[in-house]
A = this chain, B = another copy of it.
Amino acid sequence: MQGSSNRPIITLLSDFGSLYPAEMKGAILSRTRDAVLVDISHEISPQEIRAGAFALMVAARAFPEGTVHLAVVDPGVGTDRLGLVVESGGHIFVGPDNGLLIPAAESLGSPKAWMIDPSFAHGAAPTFHGRDVFAPAAAMLASGRKPESFGPRVSPKTIDFGGARVIDSGMKAEVIYVDGFGNLILNASEIPEGEFVLSGRRVRRVRTYAEAGCDEPLITIGSHGFAEIAVNGGSAKELFGLAPGNRIVLERENCSE
């Protein structure tokens, strides 16, 4: 018997909300009860692959080597899109070949990807590979099955979060994730010098939320290493009316005005 201090960890991420994640867990626990199951989030906006990829990237790095990450945001389920096992930095990722897994894998090392042979999906419900393909694969990987045993090496589809672009008048960026506080996380890992204005409101550059005044918009480098726009004691999502995928221009404040 395996010591509990060596129990494998399986994380789960999806856009399923409730109920369907439990079916994935049942499929895992039907194969192994040794794994520690940890939900990253099942509240990814439906079919928002980029938001899911960001959440997976941020959360995966908090887990130790050897963790298996099962991630399913899968608008192409039932088509001929491949299923993947990806290994990087000692972590293993399982999910659809639509870019979801790649930013996380790239942030941890040099990803190697294998397809899951379509025969593995034999008998799977055409609308729920999370339960019938990826969860069983995750259980097997957590139990020691090798990624290369699932199929041949492939080049996975990739996505990247672009990069925010510093321009003369400020910075162009994209909102890639909105968290539970309504903080807007941008595709920028640095904030240029100066003070900024967004949609006519001054956005204060701070090191931590509490430096801003009450209800004051702020920009800071968040705990995940990305720039985020927040409102101290409020919701930047509501104040600015922005959502994942929206592009913004942070204008440098003109001090001579």
Contact = CB atoms under 8 A, between A and B. Distances in A.
Contacts of A210: 75-79
Interface residues of A, number: 69
A107 to B, nearest CB: 14
Interface in A52-71: 55, 58-59, 61-64, 67
A125 B2 contact: no
Interface string A1-44: 11111110101000111111011111101101110111111110
A28 to B, nearest CB: 9
A140 to B, nearest CB: 15
A25 B3 contact: no
A46 B7 CA distance: 34
A42 B67 CA distance: 23
Contacts of A67: 26
Interface string A193-232: 0000000000000011111000000001011000000000
A63 B24 CA distance: 9
What is the total number of copies of this protein in its complex? 3
A23 B59 contact: yes
B33 A5 contact: yes
Given A18-B180, A208-B77, A29 B33 contact: no
Contact of A180 (B7, B16, B25): B16
Given A1-B4, A18-B39, A75-B210, 13 more contacts: A7-B33, A15-B181, A17-B43, A18-B55, A22-B39, A24-B62, A26-B38, A29-B38, A29-B63, A37-B38, A47-B233, A78-B209, A125-B223
Interface of A: 1-7, 9, 11, 15-20, 22-27, 29-30, 32-34, 36-43, 46-47, 55, 58-59, 61-64, 67, 75-79, 125-128, 131-132, 179-182, 207-211, 220, 222-223, 233, 235
Instruction: Sort A-B residue pairs by CB-CB distance and give the 9 closest, nearest first.
Output: A17-B180, A78-B208, A26-B62, A128-B223, A18-B41, A125-B223, A26-B63, A23-B62, A22-B40
